[in-house]
Amino acid sequence: MVLSDRAQTATRLLRSSAEHSYDPEVEIDWDAPLVEGRWFTPQHRSTLYGTDLWDTLSEEQRITLTRHEVASIASLGVWFETILMQLLIREYYRQDPTAAHAQYALTEIADECRHSVMFGRMIDKLGCPVYRPGGFDDALGKWIAATATGPRMYAAILIAEEILDALQREASADETVQPLVRMVSRIHVIEEARHVRYAREELARQVRAAGTRRLAFDRLVIARAAYLTGRRLVNPAAYRSVGIDPAAGRRAALANPNHRETMRWAGERVVGYLRDLDLIGGPGLALWRRSLLL
């Protein structure tokens, strides 16, 4: 029997999942104390690094800011994953449970279940609030979770996964970063590599299958998802942790050339892929330009 490339990829990913899956409950020493003087994100990835506001902060406050920034990113991670799990379970429901492709969707949900528990535990251990997206973004998330299929579904997934991947890959290798954050990042990076592979291939297939009108609409939704991910990775409320007004902190971060370069760098790979599939353009381009990712 000749397997389709869809089935071949799923079979490979299922094998990899069996060999390299981690239970954060067992792999992480949750009782280990945090290490004094270590950063929670690499220092140069703080949204305020290099700004005038950064200069006004003590070293301790700067570390506190990165603590809330990583908690904010993890909060967004849980939010994304909860949306993703809903999308995947709905796809699975329509599929043949004997097909490897369907079984992989279910396996990816199992990964995301463990990730969201891991992120939740980390936020708790950091003693930070859960920084949830609010207002329009919250409504957008509910709408995507309830309705997204096809190119817009897989593109939105890929944007979130690839940006997080770039940041976590770097953090996991950085010795100035807290061991807890490095370990959480490492587990996530290893398992997400499979998700990225699955989403990339599925996105390309769905784009080939979609009509012109469908793609025009999806380009716009994808642009809005990029805008959200690029601009709201860190919730402005996190600036309160070091006595900075959220609106002032957000303004400084958006104007910060260092932060803009971080987002461009983190988005580089997924932007290149979406460009190759002709998914960046049309009326959504203005949102892309403001997303900090181009």
Residues that bind Fe ion (CB under 5 A): 112, 115, 192, 195
Matching residue, tokens 């932007």: 271
Instruction: Report the distance separating Cα 147 and Cα 248, nearest Å.
Output: 35
Least Å from the CB of residue 204 to Fe ion: 18
CB of 109 to Fe ion, least distance (A): 10
CA torsion angle 261 266 267 272 (round to 10): 100
Indicate the residue among 67 and 195 with the shorter CB distance to Fe ion: 195
- Taking the complex as a whole, the smallest distance from the CB of residue 257 to Fe ion amounts, in Å, to 30
Least distance (Å) between residue 93 CB and Fe ion = 19
Q: Is residue 18 within a helix (H) or strand (E), and if so which, with residue range? A: helix 5-19
Residue 137 or 191: which CB sits closer to Fe ion?
A: 191
* Cα–Cα distance for residue pair 264/17, rounded to 1 Å: 30
In terms of CB distance, is 192 or 202 closer to Fe ion? Answer: 192
Report the nearest approach of Fe ion to the CB of residue 190 (Å): 11
Give the contacts of 262 (CB within 8 A, at least 6 positions apart): 44, 45, 47
Please give the helix or strand (H or E) that residue 191 lies within, else none.
helix 179-209
What span, in angstroms and rounded, lies between the C-alpha atoms of 76 and 260? 19
Nearer residue to Fe ion within complex by CB, 115 or 259: 115
Contact 137, 232 (CB under 8 A): yes
Nearer to Fe ion, 63 or 160 (CB): 160
What residue type is 204 in one-letter code?
Answer: A
Q: Which is nearer to Fe ion, 121 or 260 (CB)?
A: 121
**Residue 220, token pair as written in the block:** 């716009």
88 vs 223, which CB is nearer to Fe ion? 88
Query: Smallest distance, Å, CB 203 to Fe ion?
Result: 14
The Cα–Cα gap between 30 and 26 comes to 9
CA of 258: how far to CAs of 148, 166, 181, 273, in Å?
A: 34, 16, 22, 24
Minimum distance from residue 81 beta carbon to Fe ion (Å): 5
* H or E element, residue 248: helix 246-255
Spatial CA neighbour of 164 closest among 133, 187, 137: 187
21 token code pair = 């899956």
